[in-house]
Structure 1
Amino acid sequence: MEIEDTYKTIDKPSKEVLFKDKNSKFFGYAFPVFTEDDVKIHIESLKKTHHAARHWCYAYQIGTETIQFRANDDGEPNNSAGMPIYGQIQSFEVTNILIVVVRYFGGVKLGVGGLINAYKTTAQLALENSKIKTKTININYLITFEYKNMNKVMRVIKERNLNVINQKLELNCQITISVRRKEADSVFKTFQNIFEVSIKTLN
């Protein structure tokens, strides 16, 4: 079975988008996030920017293997805002992302159908205005060895074209490498089979 080791996400916030319906204004934003704290920071910041708005509805998804997500209607009728926003995150197949839609009420009620459409469309516009990138799911390994074994280790790193993210080359050497998930097992076994070299998983 082929191991899935890529995911789609964004590196930087999208440009602000605006959707209007019956005098209501919906401003949409997409942000890269990795923790719930990141989510809170962006929402608090938008509440300051749009302090006169009525609702700050959002959805986020974090993680590549274990997925954590939340959809928040922020006072709008149940499932009329957060879930339509989350639906767009799923439809674009992105993760580590937060989408916030800020609503200014225009005096005319849109009804649940109108709200679902407005939040969904604004989230879609925010995603279309984002640069979505495909990244690989990587596993980091720490390789430990004595200086005399340096050549053996470096030969494998070069042959396998491995990504070194950290190295400490002294009498006792340590090199941290980042390996694509689908290649991880074979790289691990290669180093495990080298005499006087130890390897362990970091994440």
Structure 2
Amino acid sequence: MLENYKTIYAGGEGEITEKKSRFIATVRLVEKEEDALAFIEEMKKKYWDARHNCYAYSIGEHREFTRCSDDGEPSGTAGRPMLDVILGEDIYNVAVVVTRYFGGVLLGTGGLVRAYSGAVQAGLGASKVIEKHHGISLALTADYTAIGKLQYIAGENQLPILDTEYTDRVIMHLLVPNDQAGRIEKTITEATSGRVKMEKEKELYFADVDGEIIVFDH
């Protein structure tokens, strides 16, 4: 698993104009290649009257599915520059379609590269890009006398409490960044004299979205 990676939380749409040609970039989160292909077809239907619907996408932890298309533009002037922006921004699981309405003026090879690259940057700028971090859900089982210390440790280390169960004992489910797990477990053991049972429940990803911690399965 990647320790952290950038991806799309909410796709957006950006537009630029170059010598009367309109370039509309639509950005979408895609987690399977089928999703990317369906999205491309959706955009081609939406913009059926456009001269070109060029695309680029990169999917998978190791970028297993990375493709691009010039869709009739001169070779290397659209899809590859679009993909270069995605890879340059180091964004995973993203697809971008740039729709061009021809304005009657030829842009030349360099002009097309700049226009398609600029459109993708505008699309990403209109999207919400987040960084997901690899973490674990840590279940802490303790008696009621330890709850204050556990809450203090969570607050001191800015660790979100996912849930707390109150029965004859307390079970606190703590979100811990993977690279801090060893240190946090040691801190809890020392602070409670080893009286807290700790169990790693599952691996997950989390991200700060507008000041709120959101948890993801992957």
TM-score normalised by structure 2 residue count: 0.65
Alignment match, 2:208: none
Alignment match, 1:17: 15
Separation in structure 2 between the aligned mates of residue 44 and residue 93 of structure 1, nearest angstrom = 25
SS of the aligned residue for 1:186 comes to: helix
- TM-aligned CA distance change 1:74 to 1:176, over 3 Å: farther
Deviations 1:164-184 (A, max 9, x none): 123433356544322334433
In the TM superposition, residue 83 of structure 1 has moved relative to its aligned partner by: 1.7
Aligned residue among 90, 94, 107 for 2:87: 90
Alignment match, 1:50: 47
SS of the aligned residue for 1:137 comes to: strand
Q: Name structure 1 gaps, 5 residues minimum.
A: none
CA contact (8 A) 1:192 1:198 kept: no
- Identity %, equivalent residues: 30
Alignment match, 1:73: 69
When the two chains are superposed, the root-mean-square deviation of aligned CA atoms in Å is 3.7
Alignment length, in residue pairs? 197
SS of the aligned residue for 1:11 comes to: strand
State whether structure 2 residue 176 is matched by structure 1 residue 179. Answer: yes
In the TM superposition, residue 51 of structure 1 has moved relative to its aligned partner by: 2.0
- TM-aligned CA distance change 1:113 to 1:184, over 3 Å: same
TM-score normalised by structure 1 residue count: 0.69
Separation in structure 1 between the aligned mates of residue 8 and residue 173 of structure 2, nearest angstrom = 26
In terms of fraction of residues, the more strand-rich structure is 2
Separation in structure 2 between the aligned mates of residue 189 and residue 45 of structure 1, nearest angstrom = 51
- TM-aligned CA distance change 1:18 to 1:155, over 3 Å: closer
CA contact (8 A) 1:147 1:170 kept: no
Separation in structure 2 between the aligned mates of residue 16 and residue 155 of structure 1, nearest angstrom = 45
- TM-aligned CA distance change 1:91 to 1:196, over 3 Å: closer
In the TM superposition, residue 33 of structure 1 has moved relative to its aligned partner by: 4.1
- TM-aligned CA distance change 1:71 to 1:157, over 3 Å: same
Alignment match, 1:199: 199
SS of the aligned residue for 2:40 comes to: helix
Q: Name structure 2 gaps, 5 residues minimum.
A: 204-218
CA contact (8 A) 2:14 2:120 kept: no
